[in-house]
């Protein structure tokens, strides 16, 4: 199994990880053989890359921190919340609480895992998927900070609904690629709009509501809407400011507009102490697999390998499967190296499909 950008996918290749589309519908199941019709349709809905079976490399077992069922449940709840607010200015907090409880429960069970997979969902689902990804990343960070279950639930609720104020803005404004200064001021009102919705909603804590209000504040005081700095910003909001921007950076997967995790982490680190709380950023980085499962890499030895597993204690040193030697000859069988236990090996660079 390896990750391949959609433009490099050829008819006859076999899907190794399901493709999820609009409404959480499974578009292509594991084991489906790709043809031209599928490729065309995937391009239309904004799928950027696929996990493809590669018999030369062998089977790769992958564990996500959250099951597909729970992810789809939370995506659907988020969609319902946004649609209901648009139509009635209200939403069902019971549905949100159940989805958040299920999500936190699974993450607590999966506490030894790190986020190691690339998200391959439709670009049409980007807003809902962003909310869910931000929530997963925020809860994982909260767990690393030692939060108890109740605090994790409040953090998850705030993270899931952090952009809820966006729904109160004119839809045509959100579709514009270039904004005037006046239009940008309108966009910048969404934290306060979101806070007003959440603070009035029975069952939503003020701690959760303040995530919507403060997630665009920056550690050095240069953010909005109030120009808060440092510990003036709630800890929940300081977490979500990191996780939301990280998820926006990695986008909808390899081959799309996003960057790879190690590139996103480099960019975040450049703003440590400026935009982001340095302590929270450090905790977050330790919870992310810098090299996702399915990525092809070049080792310092000149050998080519596939990332097959992540090391939580050493995010930059995953387990890799070497399938090609330094002379460019495929190995049969390939062999695995745990980079955390073999310091003489390290990843030199991530290979694109053109390099293979």
16 with 30: CB under 8 angstroms?
yes
Domains defined along the chain, listed by start = 2-52 (3.90.105.10), 68-285 (1.10.3210.10), 296-355 (no CATH)
Rounded to an integer, the average pLDDT of 95-114 is 90
242 with 268: CB under 8 angstroms?
yes
Question: Cβ of 179: how many Cβ atoms within 10 Å?
Answer: 12
User: Which pLDDT value is given to residue 353?
Assistant: 63
Give 135 or 70, the one with higher predicted confidence: 135
pLDDT digits (tens, 9 = 90+) for 220-267: 999 999 999 999 999 999 999 999 999 988 865 555 556 788 889 999
Give 114 or 277, the one with higher predicted confidence: 277
75 with 25: CB under 8 angstroms?
no
Classified as helix, coil or strand, 30 is coil
Largest Cα–Cα separation, the chain? 65
pLDDT digits (tens, 9 = 90+) for 324-351: 999 999 999 999 999 999 999 999 988 8
* H helix or E strand, kind and range, residue 187: helix 181-187
| pLDDT band, very low/low/confident/very high, at 22 (cuts 50, 70, 90) | low
pLDDT at residue 172 is higher than 90: no
% residues pLDDT > 70 (the chain): 92
- For residues 71 and 301, give the distance between their C-alpha atoms in angstroms, rounded to a whole number: 39
| pLDDT band, very low/low/confident/very high, at 354 (cuts 50, 70, 90) | low
pLDDT at residue 23 is higher than 80: no
- For residues 331 and 322, give the distance between their C-alpha atoms in angstroms, rounded to a whole number: 8
């Amino acid at each position: 199994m390896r990750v391949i950008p959609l433009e490099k996918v050829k008819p006859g290749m076999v899907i190794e990880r399901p493709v999820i589309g609009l409404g959480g519908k499974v578009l292509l199941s594991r084991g489906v053989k790709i043809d031209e019709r599928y490729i065309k349709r995937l391009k239309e809905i904004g799928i950027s890359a696929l996990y493809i079976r590669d018999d030369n490399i062998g089977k790769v077992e992958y564990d996500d921190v959250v099951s597909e069922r729970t992810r789809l449940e939370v995506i659907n709840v988020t969609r319902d919340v946004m649609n209901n607010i648009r139509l009635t200015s209200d939403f069902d907090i019971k549905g949100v609480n159940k989805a958040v409880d299920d999500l936190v429960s699974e993450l607590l069970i999966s506490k030894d895992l790190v986020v190691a997979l690339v998200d391959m969902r439709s670009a049409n689902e980007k807003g809902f998927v962003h909310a869910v990804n931000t929530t997963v990343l925020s809860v994982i960070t909260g767990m690393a900070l030692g939060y108890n279950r109740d605090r994790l639930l409040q953090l998850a609720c705030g993270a899931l609904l952090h952009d809820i104020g966006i729904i109160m803005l004119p839809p045509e404004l959100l579709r514009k690629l270039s904004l005037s200064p006046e239009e940008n001021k309108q966009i910048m009102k969404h934290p306060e709009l979101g806070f007003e919705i959440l603070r009035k909603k029975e069952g939503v804590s003020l701690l959760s509501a303040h995530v919507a209000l403060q997630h665009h504040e920056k550690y050095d005081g240069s953010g909005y809407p109030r120009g808060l700095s440092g510990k003036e910003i709630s800890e929940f909001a300081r977490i979500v400011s990191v996780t939301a921007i990280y998820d926006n950076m990695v986008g909808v997967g390899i081959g799309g507009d996003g960057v790879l995790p190690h590139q996103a982490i480099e960019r975040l680190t450049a703003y440590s102490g400026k935009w982001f709380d340095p302590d929270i950023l450090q905790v977050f980085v330790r919870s992310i697999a810098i090299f996702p499962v399915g990525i092809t890499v070049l080792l310092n030895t000149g050998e080519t390998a596939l990332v097959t597993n992540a090391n939580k204690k050493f995010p930059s040193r995953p387990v890799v499967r070497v399938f090609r030697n330094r002379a460019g000859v495929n190995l049969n069988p390939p062999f695995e190296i745990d980079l955390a236990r073999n310091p003489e090996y390290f990843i030199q660079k991530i290979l694109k499909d053109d390099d293979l």
